[in-house]
């Protein structure tokens, strides 16, 4: 007889009970201790509505910044029944979203954007296997040195086309910048070359993004806080919201599906070099692709376009606005360009290390008006403790990038556009790294923008070539008086300047010749 078989149950039973008691005790201690911790400070909330009545419809980052002066850099607030933590400092953002990224990398549920409008993109996706899969695809496309180097000719070609359009139609500079960023991303992602400002795929995508923004943006509609409203009957009064959502959803689906379908169709005739073309070929089995893989590939493509186009164009429009308002900065830029590059050629990537003032201007563009002042919301996956405060699981976490960009300990007189702040040789190296706005505007942790280097390179090339070839000045009114455009910006998710007038002209006939040579070379 096997004695162990008889004895084992009697040994294992009390052992199992003991382990269970330890686990339950640990859970109880953790739960009660976390509940005993107080929440971070914040404005007093009202029953049911929370703090929603204290938030403006636009420029909420400024309201959070003002709250920070009273409550500190970590603020607790409630939007209806939803807990929200606002981080107003780089230190807090790094402590949570980078050092504890495993708990702070998910996204809240966006009922309007995802369920109703159909934005099935990595940008809005909860953290998990699917998001890691799509992020790896995008990282392979936009972070490998070999891949980035292969895109330089595309970027330079699109730069040359913007310069040519500025010579012919400078008043439409905002449209040209949107086409510039859209063209680069469309070609790398789908292999489609945009040849006009009225390109079909660009037009569909722009309409989808524009109508989505009009719909209130992420998390700003009541349906995100009361999901039952998504079932509101179309025939009842007040259902205009549902009808508008249905119309916008068609645009969103066209944006996601049309370029993907174009790639698949062209693949039937042979290879189609692009990120999406490569992924489709990689996942084809017996001439078919699974529904799951197809949805992921579509979403990856839409992620790149929707996330990258608006931000790059916004930074370029801010550049023009600042140069019109502060011509002394533009004069210094051109003096540096003329000294290190000269008049016989146009700048290239290799010239960047020789243009410190231009690099400082780009940094200040990122800082002065961050293109996404509140970034994109994260979600806290599980209860946590930070600085003795209880951080509740499932809370929305907002990184107030604009407030970080206004930190006077790093940026004295932050309201001023001042590139010289990055050029002080006496600044300690540790502070130089901390005050680099590139560490803020591209996001944090596992949700940081995977296309950061591609976007930054495109902005550098565009700024450098405009400096080398164009004069920028103020427009004049009917009385011949110069018009200084106000520093006013849209109050939506992104921070593009409100439309303004200016004068953009070629610096010389030699500059026009160089632009033509660049076009022919690419």
For the annotated binding site for heme, the residues are 449
Q: Which pair of tokens denotes residue 50? A: 């929370």
Beta bridge partners of 398: 86
Chain Cα centroid distance, residue 66: 24
How far is 506 from 144, CA to CA, in rounded Å? 36
Cβ-contact 88, 42 below 8 angstroms: no
* Residue in 6, 75, 306, 21 with CA at minimum distance from that of residue 185: 306
What span, in angstroms and rounded, lies between the C-alpha atoms of 315 and 209? 18
Q: How far apart are the C-alpha atoms of 313 and 309, rounded to whole Å? A: 6
Residue 408 DSSP SS3: coil
Sole residue written with tokens 């998710």: 493
CA distances from 399 to 21, 104, 282, 309, 376 (A): 40, 11, 37, 21, 8
| Cβ-count burial 72-109 (b if 16+ within 10 Å, e if not) | bbbbbbbbeebbbbbbbbbebbbbbbeebbebbbbbbb
DSSP 116: I
* For the chain, the helix, strand and coil percentages under 3-state DSSP, each to the nearest 5: 60, 10, 30
Token pair 């806080």 is at which residue?
A: 225
Q: Helices in 169-290 by DSSP H: which ranges?
A: 173-190, 200-214, 222-225, 240-267, 275-283
Tokens 């942790």 map to which residue? 445
Closest CA to 86 of 124, 40, 34: 40
* 376, two tokens: 């994109």
Residue burial 357-388, b: 16+ Cβ < 10 Å; e: rest: bbbbbbbbbbbbbbbbbbbbbbbbbebbebee
Is 490 exposed, middle or buried (CB count within 10 Å of its CB: 0-12, 13-18, 19+)? middle
Alpha-carbon separation of residue 247 from 15, 118, 200, 243, 250 (angstroms): 62, 12, 18, 6, 5
**Binding site, residues?**
449
Output the CA–CA distances (angstroms, integers) from residue 389 to 46, 397, 398, in the order listed.
21, 14, 17
Residues 414, 409: Cα–Cα separation, whole Å: 10
Q: How far apart are CA 435 and CA 442, in angstroms?
A: 14
């Amino acid at each position: 007889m096997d004695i162990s078989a008889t004895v084992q149950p009697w040994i294992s039973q009390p052992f199992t009970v003991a382990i269970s008691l330890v686990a339950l005790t640990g859970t109880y201690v953790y739960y009660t201790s976390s509940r005993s911790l107080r929440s971070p400070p914040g404005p007093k909330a009202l029953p049911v509505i929370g703090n929603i009545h204290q938030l403006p419809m636009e420029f909420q980052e400024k309201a959070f910044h003002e709250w920070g002066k009273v409550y500190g850099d970590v603020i607790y607030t409630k939007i209806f029944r939803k807990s929200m933590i606002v981080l107003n400092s780089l230190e807090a953002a790094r402590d949570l979203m980078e050092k504890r990224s495993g708990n702070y990398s998910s996204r809240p549920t966006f009922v309007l954007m995802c369920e109703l409008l159909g934005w099935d993109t990595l940008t809005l996706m909860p953290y998990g296997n699917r998001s890691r899969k799509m992020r790896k695809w995008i990282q392979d496309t936009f972070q490998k040195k070999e891949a980035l180097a292969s895109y330089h000719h595309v970027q330079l070609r699109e730069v040359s086309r913007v310069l040519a359009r500025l010579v012919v139609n400078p008043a439409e500079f905002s449209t040209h910048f949107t086409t510039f960023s859209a063209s680069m991303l469309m070609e790398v992602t789908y292999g489609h070359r945009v040849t006009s400002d009225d390109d079909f795929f660009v037009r569909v995508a722009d309409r989808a993004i524009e109508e989505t923004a009009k719909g209130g943006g992420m998390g700003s509609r009541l349906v995100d806080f009361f999901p039952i409203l998504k079932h509101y009957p179309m025939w009842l009064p007040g259902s205009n919201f549902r009808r508008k959502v249905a119309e916008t959803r068609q645009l969103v689906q066209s944006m996601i599906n049309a370029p993907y379908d174009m790639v698949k169709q062209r693949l039937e005739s042979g290879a189609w070099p692009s990120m999406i073309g490569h992924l489709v070929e990689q996942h084809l089995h017996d001439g078919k692709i699974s529904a799951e893989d197809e949805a992921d590939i579509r979403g990856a493509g839409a992620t790149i376009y929707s996330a990258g186009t608006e931000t790059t164009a916004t930074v370029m429009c801010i550049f023009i606005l600042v140069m019109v308002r502060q011509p002394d900065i533009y004069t210094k830029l051109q003096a540096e360009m003329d000294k290190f590059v000269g008049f016989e050629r146009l700048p290239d990537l290799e010239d960047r290390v020789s243009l410190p003032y231009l690099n400082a201007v780009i940094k200040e563009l990122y800082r002065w008006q961050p293109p996404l002042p509140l970034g994109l919301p994260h979600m806290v996956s599980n209860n946590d403790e930070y600085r003795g405060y209880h951080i509740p699981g499932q809370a929305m976490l907002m990184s107030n990038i604009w407030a970080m960009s206004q930190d006077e300990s790093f940026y004295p007189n932050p309201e001023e556009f001042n590139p010289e702040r990055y050029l002080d040789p006496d600044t300690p190296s540790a502070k130089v790294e901390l005050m680099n706005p590139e560490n803020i505007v591209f996001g944090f942790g596992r949700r940081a923008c995977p296309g950061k280097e591609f976007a930054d390179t495109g902005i550098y090339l565009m700024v450098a070539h405009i400096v080398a070839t164009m004069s920028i000045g103020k427009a004049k009114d009917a009385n011949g008086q110069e018009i200084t455009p106000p520093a006013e910006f849209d109050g939506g998710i992104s921070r593009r300047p409100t439309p303004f007038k200016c004068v953009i002209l070629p610096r010389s006939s030699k500059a026009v010749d160089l632009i033509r040579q660049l076009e022919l070379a690419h």
